[in-house]
């Protein structure tokens, strides 16, 4: 397993653009281009989608942590590579959103288990969007968030136009996108953009403990909770009630629900299997 290094994030252990490590039922996916603030180049894009798809499909994985190597979480698109592709008229420029950013968000939001963003430094552009798509955002004091799409004459991607207004409100999201406003960790907590701010040196240990707790929980119920929230975000009340009925009916029949109520009767902690 890659060992954490506090404020600087996990240490890079080679040239692989994405590192994957398991600790019990917790899988940590580390963006591993610290010299480029973990920006997305073509190699990282492929490796990250593969890593997240594998985590989603593996029943032994019950919680996923996404973090960055070095001093940053993710700076978004690698603009040096992007410039070269634009200059060359490479068709991959036009397909980047459909084939990477949209797929990335769908893999995180559709992940049938909790996903924690451990934000160990700046998260910019699509890097911020990746954090917003996660279920929980636990950040170090040195973390910051910015959406500088307009500064490079681009619109929003990575679902930031969907997720950010739902976290902080339309007005604040508009200001961040139009003005490229950077938001520090404490302000991000105040406005509801993140869930917890910790001293940098405590981030890795706290996230590990939280991830382990979630990995011991009712994974099937977590999957339905995620799905219910996503459904309700774009649905009316009647549709939401019908979806909740479907979710609860499935959970009522689950082994973990039976275990939970038996544990309550027995006055002991429940032992969830994720089923």
Q: Which residues of 218-250 are buried (b: 16+ CB within 10 A; e: fewer)?
A: bbbbbbbebbbeebeeeeeeeebeebeeebeee
Q: Mean pLDDT across the stretch 144-155? A: 94
Q: Are 80 and 129 in contact (CB under 8 A)?
A: no
Residue 95: CB atoms within 10 Å: 10
pLDDT tens per residue, range 190-236: 999 999 999 999 999 999 999 999 999 999 999 999 999 999 999 99
Q: Which tokens belong to 174?
A: 């508009």
Smallest CA-to-CA distance from 163 within 120, 190, 134, 143 is with 134
| Domains by residue range for the chain, with CATH | 6-215 (3.90.226.10), 219-266 (1.10.12)
pLDDT tens per residue, range 33-67: 999 999 999 999 999 999 999 999 999 999 999 99
pLDDT of residue 82: 87
Q: Which tokens belong to 44?
A: 């990282």
Alpha carbon of 183 to those of 35, 84, 124, 162, 205: distances in Å? 23, 30, 10, 18, 24
pLDDT tens per residue, range 67-111: 999 999 999 999 899 889 899 999 999 999 999 999 999 999 999
Is residue 140 packed enough to be buried (19+ CB in 10 Å), middle (13-18) or exposed (0-12)? buried
């Amino acid at each position: 397993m890659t060992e954490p290094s506090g404020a600087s994030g996990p240490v890079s252990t080679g040239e692989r653009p994405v590192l994957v490590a398991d600790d019990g039922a917790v899988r940590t996916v580390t963006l591993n281009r610290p010299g480029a603030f973990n920006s997305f180049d073509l190699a990282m894009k492929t490796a990250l989608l593969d890593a997240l798809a594998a985590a989603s499909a593996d029943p032994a994985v019950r919680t996923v942590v996404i973090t960055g190597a070095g001093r940053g979480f993710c700076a978004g698109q690698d603009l040096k590579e992007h410039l070269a592709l634009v200059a060359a008229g490479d068709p991959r420029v036009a397909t980047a959103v459909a084939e990477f950013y949209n797929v990335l968000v769908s893999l995180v939001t559709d992940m049938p288990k909790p996903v924690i963003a451990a934000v160990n430094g700046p998260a910019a552009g699509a890097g911020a969007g990746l954090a917003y798509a996660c279920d929980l955002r636990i950040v170090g004091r040195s973390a910051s968030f910015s959406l500088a799409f307009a500064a490079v004459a681009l619109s929003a991607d990575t679902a930031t136009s969907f997720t950010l207004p739902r976290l902080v409100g339309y007005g604040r999201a508009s200001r961040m996108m139009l003005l490229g406003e950077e938001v520090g960790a404490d302000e991000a907590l105040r406005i509801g953009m993140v869930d917890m701010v910790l001293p940098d040196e405590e981030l890795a240990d706290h996230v590990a403990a939280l991830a382990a707790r979630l990995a011991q929980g009712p994974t099937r119920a977590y999957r339905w909770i995620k799905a219910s929230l996503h459904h309700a975000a774009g649905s009316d009340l009647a549709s939401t009630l019908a979806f909740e009925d479907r979710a609860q009916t499935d959970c009522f029949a689950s082994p973990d629900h039976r275990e939970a109520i038996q544990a309550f009767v027995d006055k002991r902690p429940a032992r969830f299997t994720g089923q």
